[in-house]
């Protein structure tokens, strides 16, 4: 009987996801590693399927990692982050205003309208709002741009809409991922020099490959070994890494989720979901 494929769960936040994981499947096949994947419409479905044992490894957003880790711990189980992209480490989010406007500091945002991404976006909503709360900036009117809730802001549509609202003058500030500050300028969403950075969050980490304690340790080790061995200098591998937005895979770490954990704890964001999933 042939070996059952090591099954990965991922969220279909963009059509390119199929191209990415088809390419990874071909790479693993060349290495003699049985691999397949399942796509989910949202991270909560993926996390719940992972907890039921329907996938062996999950490509988790930061919020999905915390969901998985906390739900597993509540059941007396253990989750582990085994790998992440180089581009998942040490990210920051920005609070931006219009460069031609009057607001030049975070303190001047008190009582103002602030545009954020989707309600479940770590980088464009949860983390920057935690940063503002820690800085003592209260009495904000938060304007949420709920694009594709369940995909945890991976599609950046909510961030883009928040910036457009800022440029249109319907909000006084917007929260975006640092890297998207540059990307929005490159794509023409933001004219050059149109934004002023008035706040920057502390560093945090983004996605990781997550396994639970019932995964076969030998198979997990081989999967991780193959990921970490992928080289950007390999002409066959480079297009896959470019599509997935990395130059190299790195060992997983979890200390970079502290800011998001604080945001979740302060707001009780996951309380209802955890109560349902762990009852």
At 202-243, the pLDDT tens digits run 999 999 999 999 999 999 999 999 999 999 999 999 999 999
At 58-96, the pLDDT tens digits run 999 999 999 999 999 999 999 999 999 999 999 999 999
Which fold would CATH assign to domain 93-200?
Answer: D-Maltodextrin-Binding Protein; domain 2 (3.40.190)
Q: How far apart are CA 161 and CA 232, in angstroms?
A: 33
Q: Which CATH number fits domain 6-88+205-278: 2.60.40.10, 3.40.190.10, 3.40.920.10, 3.40.50.720?
A: 3.40.190.10
At 149-195, the pLDDT tens digits run 889 988 888 999 999 999 999 999 999 999 999 899 999 999 989 99
- Count, residues in the chain: 279
Q: How far apart are CA 226 and CA 221, in angstroms?
A: 9
Q: How far apart are CA 240 and CA 255, in angstroms?
A: 27
The reply to whether 6-88+205-278 and 93-200 are identical in fold is: yes
- Parse the chain into domains and list their residue ranges: 6-88+205-278, 93-200
pLDDT given for residue 1 in this prediction: 33
| Cβ neighbourhood burial of 188 (10 Å; 0-12, 13-18, 19+) | exposed
- pTM, rounded to two decimals: 0.94
Q: How far apart are CA 200 and CA 181, in angstroms?
A: 12
């Amino acid at each position: 009987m042939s070996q059952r494929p090591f099954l990965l769960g991922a969220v279909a936040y963009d059509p390119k996801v199929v191209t990415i994981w088809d390419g990874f499947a071909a790479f693993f096949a060349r290495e003699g590693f049985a691999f397949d994947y399942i796509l989910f419409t949202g991270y909560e479905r993926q996390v719940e399927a992972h907890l039921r044992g329907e996938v062996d490894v999950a490509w988790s957003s930061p919020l999905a990692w915390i969901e998985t880790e906390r739900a597993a711990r509540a059941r007396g189980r253990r989750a582990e982050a085994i790998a992440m992209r180089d581009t998942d480490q040490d990210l920051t989010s920005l609070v931006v205003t219009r460069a031609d406007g009057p607001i030049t500091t975070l303190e001047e945002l008190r009582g103002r309208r602030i545009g954020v991404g989707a309600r479940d976006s770590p980088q464009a909503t949860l983390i920057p709002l935690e940063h503002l709360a820690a800085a003592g900036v209260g009495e904000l009117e938060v304007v949420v741009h709920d694009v594709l809730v369940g995909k945890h802001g991976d599609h950046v549509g909510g961030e883009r809409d928040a910036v457009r609202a800022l440029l249109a003058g319907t909000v006084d500030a917007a929260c975006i991922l640092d890297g998207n500050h540059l990307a929005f300028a490159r794509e023409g969403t933001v004219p050059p020099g149109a934004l002023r950075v008035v706040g920057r969050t502390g560093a945090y980490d983004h996605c990781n490959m997550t396994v639970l304690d019932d995964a076969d340790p030998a198979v997990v080790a081989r999967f991780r070994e193959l990921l970490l061995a992928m080289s950007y200098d390999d002409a066959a591998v480079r297009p896959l890494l470019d599509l997935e937005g990395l130059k190299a895979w790195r060992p997983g770490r979890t200390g970079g989720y502290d800011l998001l954990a604080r945001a979740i704890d302060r707001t009780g964001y996951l309380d209802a979901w955890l109560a349902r999933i762990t009852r």
